[in-house]
Structure 1
Amino acid sequence: MTSSDVLMQLGDYVFSVPTAAYQTLRLHAEYRWVQQDRLATMPAQQWLGPGRQEITLPGIIYPHDATLYPDGQGWRQVALMRDAASVGEPLMLVSGLGEVWGWWCITEVEETRSGPTWRSLARKIDFRLVIVSYGGEPR
């Protein structure tokens, strides 16, 4: 794999065509305002600051494709995501262009296997990874 193959890296996990390519990146950012009631006039909004940021990465893996997975590890990609999540620590997120997005936490890993073949190996694995911004530097 070359650096041009990398879509994004979360901790030690690399999203790329040879590992797991996400189909879309959905960023949801909240901005917190709270209503302040006022006597004899309309309520005003008070800015509290930025809120939660969440990224959803759905993707597809074809684990039997020997050109993408010459080491035969295509079927292990989602398990590697779960392993990264189970450590319970924030992970640095960096885009394939080198843009540092900061520290993020894996909150969901979803896997759907379809087209089972010999010994239940899937022809296709759909995945969805949800990460949230850690909100600072880890200790």
Structure 2
Amino acid sequence: MMMALGMFVFSLPTLAYEELQRRTSWRHVQNPRFGARAANQFLGPGDDLVSLSGRIPPELSDVSSLATLRDLADAGDALPLVDGRGQVYGDFVIESLEERQAAFLDDGSPMRIDFGLELRRVPDGADGRVQGAEQVAQG
């Protein structure tokens, strides 16, 4: 196992990523002051973004893994992200999934599929949705 997002496991048989990029930011605000440098105030943590990218060899991996990730994204739930060493990154939602197919066979089957997955951290225990959004959507 390379990493798990909820119950989805990134591995060679499912979906192996080649690159992981993480960008973490912190929020600061500046308040101008007369005759002095602006005062800086720390507001807390900002965005925590994780990008995974890789290539799926259809003959070695389960191509339906991308559909599984789309289903997870459609649910809108926050999922814990844990790497193979046991490091817990926190709860993340899927913001986007990119798929690029190339080198097609006569029947239209791709010989190569590249993917990119964008994850955003949400407060631990949050489900990634606005409270009451289901009632508004139904109502």
TM category, shorter: 0.7 to 0.9
Higher share of residues assigned strand: 2
1:62 aligns with 2:57: yes
**Aligned residue among 23, 29, 38 for 1:28:** 23
Q: CA deviation at 1:136?
A: 2.2
What TM-score does the superposition give when structure 1 sets the normalisation length?
A: 0.86
Residue matched to 2:134 = none
1:122 aligns with 2:110: yes
Q: Matches of 2:98 and 2:8 in 1, distance apart?
A: 16
**Aligned residue among 3, 19, 34 for 1:8:** 3
Please tell me the residue identity of whatever aligns with 2:83.
S
Q: CA deviation at 1:39?
A: 1.5
Please tell me the residue identity of whatever aligns with 2:23.
H
Per-residue CA shift, 1:46-71, capped at 9, x if unaligned? Answer: 11111010000001100123xxx4xx
Q: CA deviation at 1:81?
A: 1.1
Please tell me the residue identity of whatever aligns with 2:112.
K
The Cα RMSD (Å) is 1.2
Moved over 3 A (4+): none
Per-residue CA shift, 1:64-116, capped at 9, x if unaligned? Answer: 23xxx4xxxx2212111111111111011111112222210000000001111
Residue matched to 2:81 = 93
1:42 aligns with 2:30: no
Q: What is the number of equivalent residue pairs in this alignment?
A: 127
Identity among equivalent positions (%) equals: 35
Q: Matches of 1:104 and 1:75 in 2, distance apart?
A: 23
Q: Matches of 1:103 and 1:21 in 2, distance apart?
A: 20
